Structure 1
Amino acid sequence: MLEIKSLSKSFYSGSGKKRVILDELNLTVNDGESVAIVGPSGSGKTTLLNMVGALDHPDAGEVLLDGESVFSKNEKQLAEFRNQSIGFVFQLHHLLPQLNLVENILLPVIARQKKVDDPSRQRAETLTQKLGIRELQNQKPGELSGGECQRTAVARALINQPKIVLADEPTGALDQHSSDQLADLLLQLNKEEKTSLIVVTHSMSLASKMDKIYQLENGKLQLVQS
C-alpha cells in the first residue's frame, strides 16, 4: 500500500557542509501492517515520518500510496491528503486547551467539512469507548492525565479513518504503565481499523510489539525483526 522509493534528503549546516539524512531509502508497508523505526538520535527518523506524511519534501525519490505519488499533488491536494489519508500522533499531544476532549477529537472533521455530522459524532463516540476515555468527553486537556491526553490524540488521528497512522515517539512523555497501555491500544486499533501503523521510537519495548522493526542509520533502513 505504501511504497517509499529511493528517498533522499540532505541538510546544510551554517558553514555550508552537506549532511545526508536519507540516502536512497526504500520501504514498503502493507495494508494493516505495523512497523517500528528505531535508530540513534539525529538519524533521520522524524524526517522520514515527515516525508511519508507530506509535511516535508524530499530532494529525490518518491512516496507512493496505493500507487499514487504523494508529491505529484499541489498544496491544496496535499492538505486534503494529510487530512483524509494520514493520522498523526506526536510525542506531545498538541490538544487545544480551550476545547474539551471530544471537540479536540473532531477538529480534523471540521477542517475537512466545516461542520460535524452525525456519523462523525458517532465515530468519535466509538473511538472514545475503545480508548477508555468516554467518560471524560467534556473534560479539557488541563483536567486530564498525560496518558488520557495521548489517547485523545490517538482518537483525533483516527477520526477520519486514515489509511496510515504515523506516530512519532507516542509514548516518549509517558510513564511505563501509561506507555504500555497506549502501545497496546495503538496495536488493537491498528488491527480493528485495518490501518497501517508506522511508529518512530527509542523504546524497544514498544518496537517489539510491531510486526516489523527497521533500524535507520547512515541514511539507510535495515530490517532487524519481522
Structure 2
Amino acid sequence: MPSSAEQSASAVAELSGVSVRKYTTGQVILDGIDWTVRAGEHWALLGPNGAGKTSVLRLVGATMHPTTGTVDVLGHRLGRVDMRELRARIGFVSSAQKVPLDETAHTVVLTGATGTIQPLWRKYDDATRQRAHELLAELELKELADRPYGVCSGGQRARILIARALIADPGLLLLDEPFNALDLPSREDLIDAMHRLAETRPALATVTVTHHLEELAPNIGHVLLLRDGRVQASGAAAEILTGAQMTACFGRPIEVVHHEGRWSARSARGGIRS
C-alpha cells in the first residue's frame, strides 16, 4: 500500500471542502465537495442538469476559484498560482470550443501548443509541427492534416480537438461532453481513441462529463455522481454505476447494464436510454 505522502504526491486534482456560491444571489452551486483524481485515473462525472458538473470541471480546469475550501491542480493551489500558466498544463476538449474553421486540422492542433484560437506561426518550431503530425496519426487522422477543420465530420473534429489538447503534454485531460451530436460510428471511433490513449499514456488522468453511460470508454475506472451541488457517490465504477446509485442520483428508477467493458442505462419504467 502506498503511504499517505505517496498518495498525496500522485494527486493530479484535489478538492477539499469546496463550495461555490453566486456572489449576487448567494445561490449554492457546489456544497462541501471532497474529491481526488490521481495520476492515471479515468473518471466519469455524471449527474442531472444543474447538479454542478460544469462548476467542478471549471475548478479543476483552473478557470474559476472556489468560494470556500481548497483546490489543488497539478501540485498548485488555486489562489497561489498564475492561472494562465496552470491552464497551459491542462488539456481541455469541448464541442463548443472556438477554433478557426478555415484552418487545416494540422494548424488547429498547433494552436494547442500556444493555447490560442488563431495560430501564432513564429511560436511553432519544426519539432512542434512534427509533433502535431504525430498526434494526428496517433488518432487515425493522418489523412486529414491538410483538410479544413470546418469541413471535417463531428467525430473527426472531436479527435482533432483531443490531438490539440495533447500537444502540450498535459497531466490532466478534461472532456466536456465530447460526444455531443455524434452519430454512432463517430461515437465508437472516439471511444476507441480514448481507450488507446489510456493504454499509451499510463500517467495521464482524464475526467469526462457525459449524460450517457453508453459513451463511457472501457478505461473509465472511477465515477463521481453529483446531485444538487453535492457528492451523491464517488468511487470505483463497478460500485457506483448501479441501478440503486443511479436511481438515487437522477430521481427516477434506472436499470444499469455492464457488458464486455461497456455500460448502458435505461429507465426501469421502459423509457428512453439515459
TM-score (norm 2): 0.74
* Counterpart among 191, 198, 201 of residue 207 in structure 2: 198
Does residue 184 (structure 1) correspond to residue 192 (structure 2)? The answer is: yes
Question: What are the residue-to-residue correspondences of 1:15-94 with 2, within 5 Å?
Answer: 16=25, 18-73=26-81, 77-83=82-88, 85-94=89-98
- 2-side partners of 1:25 and 1:106: how far apart? 36
Match of 1:207 in 2: 216
Give the 4+ runs in structure 1 shifted more than 2 A: 65-68, 91-95, 110-114, 206-209
Letter in structure 2 aligned against 1:86? I
- 2-side partners of 1:22 and 1:93: how far apart? 24
1:111 offset after TM fit, Å?
4.6
1:93 offset after TM fit, Å?
4.5
The sequence identity of aligned pairs, in percent, is 33
- 2-side partners of 1:67 and 1:95: how far apart? 29
Q: Over alpha carbons, which structure has the higher Rg?
A: 2
- 2-side partners of 1:135 and 1:29: how far apart? 35
1:108 offset after TM fit, Å?
2.6
Question: What are the residue-to-residue correspondences of 1:108-187 with 2, within 5 Å?
Answer: 108-111=112-115, 115-187=123-195
- 2-side partners of 1:207 and 1:70: how far apart? 29
- 2-side partners of 1:146 and 1:32: how far apart? 27
User: Aligned in 2, Cα 1:208/1:105: closer, same or farther, shift over 3 Å?
Assistant: closer
RMSD: 2.0
Q: Could you report, residue by residue, the CA deviation over 1:76-127 in whole angstroms, capped at 9, with x for unpaired residues?
A: x2111111x1000013353211311111101132359951122222221211
- 1-side partners of 2:210 and 2:166: how far apart? 20
2:22 match: secondary structure = strand
> Is the CA contact 1:215–1:223 (under 8 Å) kept in the aligned structure 2?
yes
1:68 offset after TM fit, Å?
2.5
Structure scoring higher RCO (CA < 8 A, sep ≥ 6) equals 1
> Is the CA contact 2:45–2:53 (under 8 Å) kept in the aligned structure 1?
yes
TM-score (norm 1): 0.89
Match of 1:95 in 2: 99
User: Aligned in 2, Cα 1:143/1:67: closer, same or farther, shift over 3 Å?
Assistant: closer
1:72 match: secondary structure = coil
- 1-side partners of 2:173 and 2:74: how far apart? 15
- 2-side partners of 1:212 and 1:202: how far apart? 15
1:66 offset after TM fit, Å?
4.3
Match of 2:259 in 1: none
Count of aligned residue pairs for this structure pair: 219
Does residue 9 (structure 1) correspond to residue 17 (structure 2)? The answer is: no
Letter in structure 1 aligned against 2:19? S
- 1-side partners of 2:85 and 2:76: how far apart? 14
1:183 offset after TM fit, Å?
1.9
Q: Could you report, residue by residue, the CA deviation over 1:47-73 in whole angstroms, capped at 9, with x for unpaired residues?
A: 110111111121112221344313312
User: Aligned in 2, Cα 1:111/1:95: closer, same or farther, shift over 3 Å?
Assistant: closer
